[in-house]
Structure 1
């Protein structure tokens, strides 16, 4: 049930729209910069950051990396498997490198 809630959070947080520019620092700034560099757009920095952290929650709760990628893709129909994998990898690099 908890994984379902995290999946819903990802669905609400990530999408394909123009990236917003915001002043961020630390992991959040690096995460947003990496998304932009990878060509992954989002519905705003706060939503993208929340979705990135939700990816880590999924893996913290036992979801395998491939299942996490599939969850990201399922909740974001505009993402290809490649986009979802990039997003999950960037999120893990920024917020939970123990899952890399």
Structure 2
């Protein structure tokens, strides 16, 4: 679990191309930013619609009380060919784009 949270934070800080959803930003714009961020980080996505669905399923699981380990397992099961790094990156970006309330708090500076 700690690895996922750390990776999510790393993904968060690396999210230059995935800006915070702005007031008035459409779902389509958020989705496109998410897909672009996946591509920039080398996560192999062969079907954009399935990637978006998986990102929303990941957040749904967490929103319904699921654990980060369960979220990672969901992603890995859906994308068996992805490396652990791909799974963690996808998860961190999904949280950042769609359910930031599940990201760990930023460390105090």
Same-fold status (TM-score > 0.5): yes
Measured after TM superposition, the shift of residue 97 of structure 1 is 0.7
Among 62, 72, 83, which residue is 2:75 paired with?
72
**Range 72-81 or range 50-59, more displaced:** 72-81
Partner of 2:58: 55
Task: List per-residue Cα deviations over 1:44-96 (Å, max 9, x = no partner).
Answer: 22121111111101111111112211221133211122211111111111111
Q: Distance in 2 between matches of 1:45 and 1:72?
A: 15
Stretches of 4+ aligned residues off by more than 4 angstroms:
none
Greater RCO between the two (CA within 8 Å, min separation 6)?
2
Measured after TM superposition, the shift of residue 35 of structure 1 is 0.5
Aligned residues: 77
TM-score, normalization by structure 1: 0.68
5+ long unaligned stretches in structure 1: 1-23
Whether the 8 Å contact between 1:59 and 1:65 is mirrored in structure 2 is: yes
Asked if residue 28 in structure 1 is aligned to residue 31 in structure 2, the reply is: yes
TM-score, normalization by structure 2: 0.63
**Backbone CA RMSD of aligned residues:** 1.6
5+ long unaligned stretches in structure 2: 1-26, 104-109
